[in-house]
Amino acid sequence: MAINILMPALSPTMEEGTLAKWLVKEGDTVKSGQVIAEIETDKATMEFEAVDEGRIGKILVPAGTAGVKVNVAIAVLVEDGEDLGASPAAAKPAAAAPAPAAVVTAATPAPAAPKVAGARVFASPLARRIAAEKGLDLTKVAGSGPHGRIIRADVEGQTALAAPKAASAAPAPVAAAPAQGMSTDTVLKMYQGRAFTEVPLDGMRRTIAARLTEAKQTIPHFYLRRSVRLDALMAFREQLNKGLETRGVKLSVNDFIIKACAMALQSVPDANAVWAGDRVLRLKPSDVAVAVAIEGGLFTPVLKDADAKSLSALSVEMKDLAARAKTRKLAPHEYQGGSFAISNLGMMGIENFDAVINPPQAAILAVGAGIKQPVVLADGSLGVATVMSMTLSVDHRVIDGALGATLLAAICANLENPLAMLA
């Protein structure tokens, strides 16, 4: 029987993608788990594996096609010896695909409905292995593969804690419709007669626009500002880097900031939290996201368990994540999640700024440049110190003013006493 191969959802936020490259052609035999295509999401280019065995009967979406909606048929898989033309159901897969896709998109909770007790769970071997390693209950996982089959992308970004959420009978809150800005026609008329070049939006820019609009419309931001003296940290960093030369490791100020934030989240655990719609989730590990600018947008790769890692380990991991972010080679689980984020524009000469929170995170630290300034020393005399400005953007639904101030004070204390971060 012919099976439609559908455009997969390779991340929880993916709604459409670009079919960048086919790695098979019509007539090729494929096995379950074999990589058959490369798909560009809003953030990365990812491999797409077959979940069933058979022969590629027909490719419906050619390579290079952009804007392919999730769950739309992109190819037809047939059994060996089966004639595609003799299968009326498979002859028109593209026309039949949009109808079920609309149902999946419009009713998000529906796929996650618990399966009937004792019913067979359809999942690829790779998805079953990943689920076993993570302790996931596959009966609570929605499948995005053909006929609802569970594939790798469905389980890769989940944890065992996500299972109760799927089984919850509480209805999802309905978000208010976002306010709309000027229409395209209105703006074009406004600049009629002026020279300009239209720049089409790619998937990443559309996602950034949507998420940041959502953040500013739905998250009650407030801002806390403090300055920190970096002289002790700079001297300590220089000393450590001399000792790390033989290992090829060079610590940056940003590495110290990541460590300081991770440790502060442990000392102020109530602030290590995210907003989950109708509840707050308090995390135990310090998973710190760091904004990385790339051409056309940005990534926020997450350093998991940052509190438990050494400065040198954080430095090596951050450099690897940043390098792969710039080539869009990060997997979704490497840039999703985290309870706290850092955006550092100090290396670009920015003295201070306010960053926008990336939901569902509850806070982001905007870091400015370290600048030599006149200061009053402990003995009352005037001196010169390297001072860095920081602004903590906070979600007031999760963190109140006093709690946010305590967190920022802990970050500053760690940066001004860097030796304590090694204890």
The CATH number linked to 136 is 4.10.320.10
Q: Are 11 and 153 in contact (CB under 8 A)?
A: yes
Domain endpoint, select from 106, 130, 158 = 106
Residues 118 and 69 in one domain: no
Residue 264 lies in a domain: yes
Residues 72 and 145 in one domain: no
Residue 184 lies in a domain: no
Residues 344 and 217 in one domain: yes
Q: Name the domain count of the chain.
A: 3
Residues 217 and 163 in one domain: no
Residue 303 lies in a domain: yes
Active site residue 147: no
- CATH code where residue 63 lies: 2.40.50.100
Residues 407 and 260 in one domain: yes
CA 261/CA 264 separation, integer angstroms: 5
Domain endpoint, select from 66, 87, 106 = 106
Residues 255 and 368 in one domain: yes
- CATH code where residue 299 lies: 3.30.559.10
Residues 297 and 215 in one domain: yes
Residue 199 lies in a domain: no
What is the chain's pLDDT, residue by residue, as a tens digit (423 residues)? 678 899 888 776 678 888 888 999 888 888 888 899 988 876 677 888 888 888 898 899 999 888 888 889 999 888 766 666 544 344 343 433 343 333 333 333 334 444 545 556 777 767 777 877 777 887 778 877 766 778 777 877 676 544 444 444 445 555 555 556 788 888 888 899 899 898 888 777 888 888 888 898 999 999 999 999 999 999 999 999 999 999 999 999 999 999 999 999 999 999 999 999 999 999 999 999 999 998 888 899 999 999 999 999 999 999 999 999 998 888 888 999 999 999 999 999 999 999 999 999 999 999 999 999 999 988 889 999 999 999 999 999 999 999 999 999 999 999 999 998 887
Catalytic: which of 147, 221, 333, 396? 396
Residues 26 and 122 in one domain: no
Residues 211 and 243 in one domain: yes
Quick one: residue 295, left, alpha or beta (phi over 0 = left, psi -120 to 50 = alpha)?
beta
CA 394/CA 220 separation, integer angstroms: 8
Closest by Cα among 62, 51, 1, 52 to 26: 62
CA 43/CA 334 separation, integer angstroms: 11
Closest by Cα among 185, 180, 126, 178 to 152: 126
Residues 291 and 216 in one domain: yes
Residues 359 and 252 in one domain: yes
Report pTM: 0.64
Structure tokens at 213: 């609009």
Which residue range(s) make up the domain with 126? 110-167
Residue 61 lies in a domain: yes
**Residue 236 DSSP one-character state:** H
Residues 357 and 236 in one domain: yes
Quick one: residue 338, left, alpha or beta (phi over 0 = left, psi -120 to 50 = alpha)?
left
Residue 176 lies in a domain: no
